[in-house]
Structure 1
Amino acid sequence: MNAPLLTTPRVEPFFFDAEPGTRFSLYHAPNPQAAPRGAILYVHPFAGELGRTRRMAALQARAFAELGYAVLQIDLFGCGDSCGEFNAGRWQIWHEDLALAAAWLAERDSGPLTLWGLRLGGLLALDAAARLDVRRVLLWQPFMSGRACINQFLRLSEQLHDPAPGAPRSTAALRAQLAVHGAIEVGGFEVAVPLVKAIDACDAAHVVLPRCAVHWFAHGGPAPAKVGAGAARLGERWARAGAALHFHPLDGAPLWHGAGELDLPGLRAATTRLFSGDPA
């Protein structure tokens, strides 16, 4: 893989050589006038949420770089501008992509590593934290259950268009269709059974985290107490392995799926404030 040459703080696009193919990435060099703070690896969300939140993630990455962090955004295999069709994406390949990206960052910054995940990327980041040497995990509105993510993805088929007469409407019926045909397309994104099974099997309650800090930012929506209670239960589980959860509730209930760009300035500002210090 070809590394970008660093001269002044900037955003450098490049491609990783990986198996299979290549991965598109953006490297945000740390501000040379700020004290080095370590590295941050971004784990993007699933399917259409990647495109909707790309600008928001880039703005946050630049804010991190200004603070002195080295930040890498990578499009996982089959996603965004990386090689491969979306229906060829696999959970294990995405793990391998993150391991490759973390090693690349470690060659350029010897500081502690933060995994930063958005939505399903948050669950993938938690799953990867058990395999990588991380100091901190940053979660933005994460799915704590892979099955819940897939169910929401399947329900979009009803919201995006009117199904043909006789077409399956319930999540169970759509899952049955997926099992029969081996793949299903929703909103231009086709997922195959192997990826769905792997995502379904991932649950934050069963992730064994290393000793690290977990900062979880979430909009409570119509049931903030329920979200907070769920976070508390997970925090108790993770504490047994030495991981410390810090839950940061936010007001509102943004619409993550749909058309158009999504930006949440309040989420970005709260995150920047936290990382301006030295979050444990």
Structure 2
Amino acid sequence: MAASSVFFLDAGARGQRLCAHYPARSPAPTGARGQILLLPPFGEEMNKSRRMIALGARAFAAAGFEVLTMDLLGCGDSSGDFGDASWAAWQDDVRLGAGWLDQRAQVTDERKPPLWLWGLRAGALLAPAAYVDSLDFFRPVNLLLWQPVTAGKVQLQQFMRLRVAADLIGGQAKGAMQAMRDQLARGESVEIAGYALSPALAEGLEAAQLKPSPRIARVAWMELSPREDASLTPAAEMAVSAWRAQGAQVRASVSQGPSFWAATEIEEAPRLIEASLAALMAGDDFEIAEREPA
């Protein structure tokens, strides 16, 4: 297998985006089994997830999938600071990465291989940017979702609570949440856990939702639990039912493993990668709901 490569993708006047490309191992004569674009999690969750992202990308490439990961505007080694980011700019970054993969895709049987949008946590909320009015309508588009956040207002509230917790320790928590919202409403950025949250990013994230779409052919909904015998949460069950009602094939799975994106130390969840590979490689039996074996 060709080694992964790291490069800067030109975003024009918006600067450069640091990308990691994982070529597919031993693809068929007609090309890779499919392409995968990472939609990264929010804030510090991305830093905690880098190990799992790298492990997953290598495993997917070894199975014959071409993978692209990207640091969005203001994240990692990409151009700008976090305070420069907006939800619209991150959507543009997703379209940029999807377009790069689309140009590389080989046409087989008069169509391109499927594009999997790999949404990790709040990254799932960026998925519509890659399949609404941006790609060839006839290209299969699928979702691989790792513990997805489906409503941005939930992610934003959790993020802002970090500031409230810090203020509580300092004895200044009273009215902290409303004070932050007032600050954003005045067009001022808010400092939270070392990140400068801009009004444009906060507003876009709060309004973002991942809703069922007829553009999506398959959804691999992957969750983690510390328990061996866990089932999908009621909220996830409702979301899965909504996607199926829209016509998508859905494979839902709960794997045993830690919440690596929120852990104090860097953690790994190998069963999540195994379940994801099973979904990516599934054929006509794709649509199953399963519980990971002990």
- Normalised-by-shorter TM-score class: 0.7 to 0.9
Task: Tell me which of 67, 74, 80 is aligned to 2:63.
Answer: 67
- 2:142 is the alignment partner of 1:136: yes
Distance 1:177 1:56 in 2: 35
After superposition, the CA RMSD in angstroms is 2.7
Q: Does 1:178 align with 2:171?
A: no
> What is the DSSP-based 3-state SS (H/G/I as helix, E as strand, rest coil) of the residue aligned with 2:221?
strand
Q: Which residue of 2 aligns with 1:11?
A: 4
**1:107 and 2:103 equivalent?**
yes
- Cross-structure match for 1:214: 219
Partner of 2:204: 198
The residue number in structure 1 matching 2:153 is 147
Q: 1:24 Cα shift?
A: 0.3
Displacement of 1:272 in angstroms is 2.3
Could you tell me how far apart the structure 2 residues matched to 1:46 and 1:262 are?
17
Distance 1:221 1:129, change over 3 A: farther
Q: Does 1:264 pair with 2:269?
A: yes
Deviation per residue, 1:62-118 (Å, 9 max, x gap): 111111111100111111111011011112221211212112112222321110010
| Structure 2 residue identity aligned to 1:249 | V
Distance of 1:185 and 1:199 partners within structure 2? 16
2 CA distance for matches of 1:43 and 1:120?
Answer: 8
Partner of 1:20: 14
For residues 186 and 265 of structure 2, the distance between their equivalents in structure 1, rounded to whole angstroms, comes to 33
Structure 1 residue aligned with 2:122: 120
2:69 paired with 1:52: no
Going from structure 1 to structure 2, the CA distance change for 1:177 and 1:255 (only over 3 Å counts) comes to: farther
How far does residue 240 in structure 1 lie from its aligned partner after superposition?
Answer: 4.3
Match of 1:238 among 237, 243, 252: 243
Tell me the SS of whatever aligns to 1:136. strand
Deviates more, 1:156-165 or 1:103-112: 156-165
Report the count of equivalent residues.
Answer: 271
* Conserved 8 A contact 1:210-1:241: no
SS at match of 2:252: strand
Measured in 2, the distance between the counterparts of 1:68 and 1:199 equals 33
SS in 1 for 2:150: coil
Query: What amino acid does structure 1 have at the position aligned with 2:68?
Result: L
* Stretch deviating more after TM superposition (177-186 or 143-152): 177-186
Q: Gapped runs of 5+ residues in structure 2? A: 107-112, 288-294
Q: How big is the shift at 1:273?
A: 3.1
Give the conservation status (yes or no) of the 8 Å contact 2:37–2:115. yes
* 1:17-47, Cα deviation, whole Å (9 max, x unpaired): 1040000000001112667301111111011
Partners of 1:159 and 1:261 in 2: CA distance: 22
Identity percentage over the alignment?
33
Q: CA deviation at 1:254?
A: 2.0
Alignment partners' CA distance in 2, 1:166 and 1:143: 30
TM-score by length of 2: 0.81
Instruction: Determine helix, strand or coil for the equivalent of 1:23.
Output: strand
User: Match for 2:155: what amino acid?
Assistant: C
TM-aligned CA deviation for residue 127 of structure 1: 5.2
Taking the aligned partners of 2:195 and 2:2, their CA distance within structure 1 comes to 35
CA distance in 2, matches of 1:66, 1:59: 11
Question: Residues 20 and 127 (structure 1 numbering): CA distance in 2 closer, same or farther, change over 3 Å?
Answer: closer
Q: Alignment partner of 2:213: what SS?
A: coil
User: Does the CA contact (< 8 Å) of 2:213 and 2:246 recur in 1?
Assistant: yes
Preserved CA contact (<8 Å) 1:126 1:209: no
Deviations 1:111-148 (A, max 9, x none): 21110010111121255334445421000011111000
Shift of 1:262: 3.1
CA gap of 1:209–1:149, structure 2 versus 1, over 3 A, is farther
Secondary structure of residue in 2 paired with 1:219? strand
Structure 2 counterpart of 1:164, from 164, 170, 179: 170
**DSSP 3-state at the match of 1:263:** coil
Distance 1:172 1:162 in 2: 14
Unaligned runs of 5+ residues in structure 1 are 1-7
User: Which residue is equivalent to 1:5?
Assistant: none
Cα distance in 1 for partners of 2:275, 2:167 equals 36
Q: For residues 38 and 48 of structure 1, do their structure 2 counterparts lie closer, same or farther at Cα, with a shift above 3 Å needed?
A: same
Aligned match of 1:78 = 74
